[in-house]
Amino acid sequence: MADDGRPGGGAVRQEPVRAQGTPLHPAAWWLWALALGTAATRTTNPLLLALLLATSAYVVTTCRPPTPWARSYSAFLKLALAVLVIRLVFVVALGSPVPGTHVIVTLPEVPLPEWAQGIRLGGAVTAEGVLFSLYDGLRLATLLVCVGSANALASPSRLLKALPGALYETGVAVVVALTFAPNLIADVQRLRAARRLRGRPDRGVRGLLQVGLPVLEGALERSVALAAAMDARGYGRTADVPAPVRRTTTALTLGGLLGICAGTYGLLTAAGADYGLPLLLAGVTAALAGLRLGGRRSPRTRYRPDRWTPRACLVAGSGVAVAALLTVASGTDPEALHPGVVPLTAPTLPVWPAAAVLLGLLPAFLAPAPPKEPS
């Protein structure tokens, strides 16, 4: 117990603080987020989807670092909300294939020509159709938010450093694209704050025009600096490898990608459940072997590469466990994970699938505390 030094002061209560440590491997965050997104695709239960959203939001709030790319999470939330609203607008305007008897409102129906049979504009809007679209749109929105969680938690530059050599050029293009929008938003906020301090307008058409030119100039300067840095580091150089190795690399990579596509299709359809998993595993193995061989054409060194630590394994494993348990639950209890809308019934929260989703909260307690923002 410590005295706060004030007159009549008592003891100051110390809140538990997570210890600082080495940041997690960025691939661990992506595996955790993609696994939560996979779990979201296995259910249309709005209660489970809301629990997945709350889980990802809590982990992002607790673990995201004070960096420009960490602010992208709010943009993904807005995008998910827009997807949900557009999905509901479409079902109201174009109707739903789900039959229903509970009519909410009847809109004026626009007659269409014969070649547009099967499509209608307006008509009766039923509660069953709206709920079906809401459940389906919420699933897609949850998937987008999970991807936004990975963008907010994983450093793009560190993820690029961890990519295999065969994907280096593609990874650079992706990282530049991912960091452009956050840096642009940061520039706009900085310039608007500077104009407010000088007493100049920062809103409206005039403010937008006067802010836009410095922002574009800064983006051009960053592009030139990036090009110079890439040229100084020998970007795009390749090493000579024998022709048989090149042909083997191409065959393994293309064959592996085809195997992954066919295996994924088999897992998503009931008819291909027998061959889906073996084909997927074979495709992943062939693709990894192709990437390993392809790395010989792009020799490069890594300064202080990120290591897979036990914490990173636990973080990635928690997300994979959520996806695996919800996949099992969708096969053993499909009615709980896919509530029906005909007849119209309220969804219920299944106990053990909900407990499985809560495993996704482990990164909030396992990951090292993010660095504090400079004051």
List, for residues 24-38, the tens digit of each pLDDT value.
888 889 999 999 998
Q: Do residue 353 and residue 268 come from a single domain?
A: no
Identify whether residues 186 and 326 lie together within a single domain. yes
Q: Residues 282, 336: one domain?
A: no
Number of domains in the chain: 2
The model's pLDDT over 76-131, given as tens digits with 9 standing for 90+, comes to 899 999 999 998 888 888 877 777 778 888 877 777 777 766 677 777 788 888 88
69 and 208 co-located in one domain: yes
Confidence tier at 257 by pLDDT (50, 70, 90)? confident
List the one residue out of 321, 356, 317 whose CA is nearest residue 336: 356
Residue-level pLDDT at 322: 93
**Rounded to the nearest 10 degrees, what angle do helices 168-197 and 72-94 cross at?**
100
> Is the residue at 302 inside a domain?
no
At residue 104, the 3 state secondary structure works out as: strand
Longest CA pairwise span in the chain (Å): 86
Q: So what's the pLDDT on residue 295?
A: 64
**286 and 184, same domain (yes or no):** no
- Would you place residue 360 in the very low, low, confident or very high pLDDT band (cuts 50, 70, 90)? very high
At residue 11, φ and ψ (nearest 5 deg) are -80, 145
pLDDT over 50 (residue 7): no
pLDDT band at 307 (very low <50, low <70, confident <90, very high): confident
Of 272, 297, 322, which one is at a domain's C-terminal end?
Answer: 297
pLDDT over 90 (residue 138): yes
263: domain range?
A: 241-297
Q: CA–CA separation, 126 vs 93, rounded Å? A: 12
Do 194 and 336 fall into the same domain? yes
* Proportion of the chain in helix, strand, coil states, percent, rounded to 5: 65, 5, 30
CA-to-CA dists, residue 286 to 145, 250, 251, 289, angstroms: 31, 10, 9, 5
Say yes or no: 161 and 67 in one domain: yes
Give the Cα separation of 375 and 114 in Å (integer).
Answer: 67
In the three-class reduction of DSSP (H, G, I as helix; E, B as strand; rest coil), residue 370 is classed as coil
Same domain, residue pair 117 and 137 = yes
Looking at residue 238, its pLDDT comes to 61
> Are 38 and 171 found together in one domain?
yes
pLDDT, the chain, mean: 78
How far CA 35 is from CA of 147, 250, 283, in Å, comes to 10, 29, 19
Residue 8: per-residue pLDDT? 47
Is there a domain that residue 258 lies in?
A: yes
Residues 250 and 220 in one domain: no
The answer to whether residue 10 is domain-embedded is no
Residue 85 inside a domain? The answer is yes
Is residue 191 domain-resident? yes
With tokens 């083997």, the residue in question is 248
State the average pLDDT over residues 321-331: 89
Average pLDDT over residues 323-337: 87
In a domain, 2, yes or no: no
Q: Are residues 266 and 145 in the same domain?
A: no
* Residues 178, 163 share a domain: yes
Question: In this predicted structure, what is the pLDDT of residue 297?
Answer: 63
In a domain, 255, yes or no: yes
